[in-house]
Structure 1
Amino acid sequence: MIMASPAESLLQHRSFVAFWLARTCSSFGFQMLSIIVGWQIYAITGKAFYLGLIGLVQFLPSVTLALWAGHIADQRDRRRIVFFSQLVEWLAIVALTLLTLLHHNDVWTILALVFVLSVAKVMEAPAMQSMLPALVPPRLLARATAASAVGGQAAMIMGPALGGLLYVAGAQVVYMVTGLLYLLSIVMVSRLRYEQTPPPRTPATLSTLFAGVRFIRERPDVLGVISLDLFAVLLGGATALLPIYAHDILHTGPLGLGLLRAAPAVGALLVGFWLSHRALERHVGMIMFICVAGFGAATLLFALSTWFWLSMLALFATGGFDMVSMVIRGALVQLDTPDEMRGRVNAVNSIFINTSNQLGEFESGMLAAWLGVVPAAAIGGIGTLVVVGLWMHWFPGLRRRQRLENEVA
């Protein structure tokens, strides 16, 4: 049950407002940067190979350093980790700006700076994610999670478009605006009032690095929500097939493809905005399962649709359903995890999310090559529904979960 929110507002918590502004500014900057680097490198080389290298230099740090980043987030002051990580990212952006202004079009130098930026981003992520529960009371965490997600979705929708618009004036203009957004984020982080009592510092060993994995395995509710997210995203990667659907099934052009790509993010944005003003009071476990099932059903509807606007509606619904379940999953994991473990647990969770997104697109592409595009997308939707049924049976405590807070294992 989703009840009306209490009188207390998120705006009353100044540290959360600063956190939200910092995260939104850096998200906008990163989305603009991601698309502009690709355009610039392709303009220099004209070869798709180098576009693949951009993905590689971003992917490698996320896999190899995530567990260590989680360990550091639990051992050091998280605000300082975020501050210095974003400072390194800002310096990398300044360097990219100078290279562009000086017409130093060396692809390997650009890739090296993207790698540095990616390493800093990986170090920042677990610390940033782990800070949120300390900035608002537990009763407001779901709403705060939704509000934070709204900023991220807005950046995903408008960031690339804004970057492309500014690129008309030159790549250096985009880098300058991106640098300004990161500088604003750094200022907001420096103004955060964040209190953390780190545990005694311990060296990074296999035991400490994999402590997050052990914690998740020993907590049924946490294991349930993280693994549900993993398999639902893995099976529901139909968006990777959008170019084929747009061209061969819905018979639309680049504009139609752009609208189809935007539909899930718009659905998530609107539902996230609504959730940021509503409290999840009861039956959160069933609401989560129903929304993941809704995501699977909407994916199946999209798979079978031959009407453009019905496909748009289905994709819009996938974004909305996913936002509700994501808010519940995110808040539940944070509240069920002790503060001294949040960095490592969030690091493991981020690995699962990143790999499931990438493998989900790979799985959809392979199935489409073997079986055809419609059966591949339909199998993804049906598979998600099957996973929901299995998880409801295997995790009965999660199914019966009533509230997000006060049920900490």
Structure 2
Amino acid sequence: MRLPEFRFLLMGRFVFIMALRMMGTLVGWWLYELTSDPLAMGLVGLAEAIPAIGLALYAGHVIDLSDKRKLLLRGVFSYLSCAFILLVLSYSFTHGSAKVIIVSGIYSVIFITGIVRSFTGPSFSAILAQIVPREMLANATTWNQGTWLTASVTGHATAGFLIAGFQTTGTLIVICSLIFIGLILLTRLLPKPPATIAGKQKTWESVQEGLNFVFKTKEVLGALTLDLFAVLFGGAVAMVPVFAKEVLKVGPIGFGWLNAAADIGAICIVLLLTFFPMKKAQGKKLFYAVGGFGACIVVFALSRTFYLSFIALLLSGMLDGVSVVVRGTILQLKTPDDMRGRVMSVNSMFINSSNEIGQFESGVAARLMGLVPSVVFGGCMTILIVTTTWFKSPALRKMEY
């Protein structure tokens, strides 16, 4: 924290991520109020995941060849523009515009944010190593993850209160203001020219080099794969608005706290790990954490009381926080400087697959199987995947750093 650039990066990222989490919470609530259909929220994930995953590998190549500060600022400004479009749509809806136009507009904006995210997300991770000396990188990664999670929980919880007090339009005004503040803070970073890379290397050759590194580094591949399939099946967050309204019978404030519960747990554990880092057996602890995460999802699905549901999501967030720290540290320590954009983009592709496509899977499963059975099924599949990966990936199981 003594490094000025690191402080500006953390502050700018905090405000920016808080705004994005508020936007995600708002869009889920807004769409469910417009459509009363769980699948509509699943389609939000698909709308963002398609461009984010489709452009991820190319984005990594561009990031490695670009000034990361400039690319980051362009991405944040693009998010600000998307939030402003949503603000205009919310104002139109209050004056009686057709719901189908508003819903189509929301999906279009989310699709655009998926394009922007494919460049912006990896840029935040790649720029970290150009700001912090390598000997501080592991600790800085934990601080960085803690900042992200703190912003996430703040955004989720605050959005619930803002929706209750100021409705959709007022909440979007706050979101636009926060993104603008984040943009101003990030302008304080110094230029970050690309690391040395073969100047005449073709795009596909560059992309292939990044993919080869990930697939040859077994610890990286194992951690990404475990996260991909565990969150793909075990992510219950997409269905929280439905549980809040239909099962637990709580309003926007209760919904906001349920949506924030996992992030509250995650930030608690990340803060603990910041001061008391794991010293050994990080690989095994990763498996235990993801398995416990799946069990918590099952408990959440079967719960009929608000407090038990909140505790189940809180514990799932704590266990997921362990996974986030271990995976993030492995990536930062194992990746060469001239490949950070490409490797972080592959990581982003895995995360987008697990979160956004997982959101779509949750919506489809809820439609086909019913709300509660679909979430129980997802939690059980997570436990099965952890068990299978335990035997299939001994390198990750034995990994220490």
Counterparts in 2 of 1:37 and 1:257: CA distance versus 1, 3 Å: closer
Cα separation, 1, equivalents of 2:369 and 2:114: 36
Q: For residues 8-49 of structure 1, give each alpha carbon's deviation from its aligned partner in whole angstroms, at most 9, with x where no partner exists.
A: xxx123322121112112213334455678899999xx7799
Q: For residues 127-147 of structure 1, give each alpha carbon's deviation from its aligned partner in whole angstroms, at most 9, with x where no partner exists.
A: 221122333344543433332
In structure 2, what is the equivalent of residue 208 of structure 1? 206
Cα separation, 2, equivalents of 1:47 and 1:362: 16
147, 150, 155: which one aligns with 2:146: 150
In structure 1, what is the equivalent of residue 184 of structure 2? 184
Q: For residues 155-188 of structure 1, give each alpha carbon's deviation from its aligned partner in whole angstroms, at most 9, with x where no partner exists.
A: 3333334764566885784365135323323323
In structure 2, what is the equivalent of residue 406 of structure 1? none
320-329 or 352-361, larger mean C-alpha shift: 352-361
Task: Report the Cα offset of residue 332 of structure 1.
Answer: 0.2
Counterparts in 2 of 1:395 and 1:19: CA distance versus 1, 3 Å: same
Q: Judge conservation of contact 2:283–2:397 (CA < 8 Å) in 1.
A: yes
Q: Which has the higher contact order (CA 8 A, sep 6+)?
A: 2
TM-score by length of 2: 0.80
In structure 2, what is the equivalent of residue 338 of structure 1? 336
TM-score by length of 1: 0.78
Give 3-state SS (helix, strand or coil) of 2:270's partner: helix
Count of matched residue pairs: 387
Q: Which runs of 5+ in 1 are unaligned?
A: 1-10, 404-409
In structure 1, what is the equivalent of residue 249 of structure 2? 252
Alignment of 1:14 onto 2:12? no
Q: For residues 194-229 of structure 1, give each alpha carbon's deviation from its aligned partner in whole angstroms, at most 9, with x where no partner exists.
A: 575331324543332333322221111111000000
Task: Report the Cα offset of residue 343 of structure 1.
Answer: 1.0
- Letter of the aligned partner of 1:252 in structure 2? K
Task: Report the Cα offset of residue 399 of structure 1.
Answer: 1.1
Residues 7-406 of structure 1 correspond to what in structure 2 (within 5 A)? 11-33=1-23, 58-90=48-80, 118-138=114-134, 140-159=136-155, 160-161=159-160, 164=163, 170=170, 173-174=173-174, 177-188=177-188, 191-192=189-190, 194=192, 197-202=195-200, 204-243=202-241, 245-246=243-244, 251-254=248-251, 255-403=253-401
Higher percent of residues as helix:
2
335-344 or 238-247, larger mean C-alpha shift: 238-247
Q: Judge conservation of contact 1:30–1:178 (CA < 8 Å) in 2.
A: no
Give 3-state SS (helix, strand or coil) of 2:324's partner: helix
Q: Judge conservation of contact 1:237–1:361 (CA < 8 Å) in 2.
A: yes
* Structure possessing the higher radius of gyration over alpha carbons: 1
Task: Report the Cα offset of residue 230 of structure 1.
Answer: 0.5
Q: Judge conservation of contact 1:302–1:310 (CA < 8 Å) in 2.
A: yes
Q: For residues 298-327 of structure 1, give each alpha carbon's deviation from its aligned partner in whole angstroms, at most 9, with x where no partner exists.
A: 223333444442332111100000011111
Cα separation, 2, equivalents of 1:316 and 1:392: 25
Q: Judge conservation of contact 2:23–2:175 (CA < 8 Å) in 1.
A: yes
